[in-house]
Structure 1
Amino acid sequence: MRKGLSAAAVVALISAGAAACGGDDPASPQGKVSDAFQKLGKQNTISVDLGFSGTSAQIYSAMKNEDGFTQADADLLASLHLTVGGSSQKSLDLLGKSFGKDKDATKDSSAGFVLSTDGAGGKKLIEVRAVGQKVYLRADIKGLEGLDTDKSDAGDIAGFNQQYLDTLSSTPGSVGAALTGKWVSIDPTVWSAFVKSALAAQGGGTTNSATPTLDAQTQNQIVTGLRAALTKDATFTDGGSKGGADHVKVTVPAQQFAKDVATDLTPALKQIPGMKQSDLDKFQQAEGVPNKKVTADVAIKDGSIASITFDIHQLDSESTGPLPLTLGFRGSAAPISAPAGAVALNPQDVIGAITSNLHSGDGGSDDSVF
């Protein structure tokens, strides 16, 4: 899973950099990629689906030498998909010239993600939407048990379900709704005020409730840096046509590219609460990134980016075969909207449900919900 996340990061960085890196010749491979991102960016809503392209048998064959990796793990990875989306009343303008300059660019925007499985009885496991000033959440608690492939013990999720789910699910109101897979809404200002009040009551001081934001100068610095890294580090070559799409190969020296990108992203990462300087130092040193060239395949269909595929085998010499990870892109005019019928989930509801459950239990157990 760690290598999968590393590969996803490589693909995402190449995607962002390629979008920011326009070519002088629109007919060149680099120009085609840049133009394809610009066309995708003219959509009001964009979703990106991350998942392995291979079958469970191919995934197991490639990763069977990993310590503790099983066929059940391969089955899980083959079925899982993470879809991330964003929408705006205006076109999203992916890293275009106005990025970071329009203070109202995100005023009417929405975002969301879905973790789903397409295996037997495929379903959405977790779905989150951020619309306006609220966050909407829906989760399949029972379905999440499938994420624990180690059947040697009950597992944390299964243990929670067995001990608490039935009781808490019958709780009236928002807690019961959340635990039975219904939509609930969360107001960040309400929860922030609750946390501040709880800390003050415990003598723990206060917490900064402000949401970290990137100023226009930092945003432009990131975009300029990504553009410079791609211009200096990457080569674009024609990959021919296949499956109704034109393909472009984007090759970068992995370690140097990672260092250049880390330098550009550090000003933004420093603004994340709790970020340690030691972690930033490791990030800038590109620890664990091989000193070799790696290639991603960019598929362009109807003039727009369709997918970017990266073979994790390039990052791992222990892998016994190809293991492609793919980002699939889709654009549309349909916005990400707030779900109908969501019930407000407030801190008092959660505390009340937990307290009620503990009082109705054995009364002396050290086994709490958290």
Structure 2
Amino acid sequence: MLGSTLRSFSLLAASTVVMGFPVVAQPAAAAPASLVLSFTASSSDPTDRYRTLVRRLADNDPRWEVQTAAWSALISDVPTAVTDFLSPGGGYEKARARASQNASRNNLVISRTISTTTATTSPIVHLTAVRASYGTLAEKDRYVRTGLKEAQDLDAKHSPVEQAKQQAQQDRDYVADMAVHGSGAWVRAAAQRALQKGTDNDIQEFFKYAWASAADCDLQAFRMNLLEQDLTYRHRLAQLIVLAQQAQQAYEQASEAARAKAAAEAKLAWNTAADTAAATQASWLATQQLATAQAESWQQVYDFAVAASTQQDWPAIAADAAGTSASWSDEVAWAQNQAAEWTALYESTKASAEAIPASSPTSSPSPTPAA
């Protein structure tokens, strides 16, 4: 059963809670927007690194509004389009706001549909609205755009909701195990809902729709949370870099009497930036471990589905599991790349700190010999 394949993963698989990046005190001075995304002294071009991040958003972000805006930045002829897109107040934040507004509208439509229909009067509309309410952002958007009308048309033709056959006890046990040991918070919640309702239709609904949708929700939440934290700490490190550059300039221009104090302040500023980069790099390594555990868990689900023989559509479940495992493997590769990038940021900021000479006590004047 699934318990033997998932229990070892249950301690790590909280995929809606991303491993947190380090929290550091917010600097008093904010970095200018033009500087926020161009601060590193590492060998690679910062624009290239940020283009890679924007391409990831264009390919993988769950919000079509963000995907569209990211593609616009990528194909723009403006040289700074990519860095402007990720800067505070830029295209990403505007697209995120539009996505939030659209998501709120979709949630309102779906919740009103659920509250104004019943499984008796509008069985297909009610069933599909409840299903959509637990779906991904894309599933909700698709339901509001086209799915609701399709369900209404089916209800108008008096199409009954097909009753599921009696579900095997083995499959019910499977869902019960998933409710406790499933690979992700959304998956566990979907299994728990199926058990709480407990009808044959609810168990079938889990295997046919809810499981795959919940798996997508886990991945969606992971990616969105990770992006928000990534941008937060990129901007924060950029601010620390600006402060360190200002402190270094003050040191270089200081008088001989003030030079030791200025050197200590500049070294401290660069070390603060380096410490933040190092801690963030460690968090990326932890995120990599989480994604690896998820990929392995879904590979185990695939292996189980290939050998399963109950009445569920196990070939379709196996295909979904293989695709989900591959998606989590992509997250592993991304986390590895980000860990390497933050290692380079640490090395460059640490090198700047070490390049400043350690301050030495000011020499005291020699005592005058006694007459």
Quickly name the TM-score band, shorter chain normalised: under 0.3
TM (norm. structure 1) is 0.22
Q: Which structure features the higher share of helix residues?
A: 2
TM (norm. structure 2) is 0.22
Higher Cα radius of gyration: 2
Q: Which structure features the higher share of strand residues?
A: 1
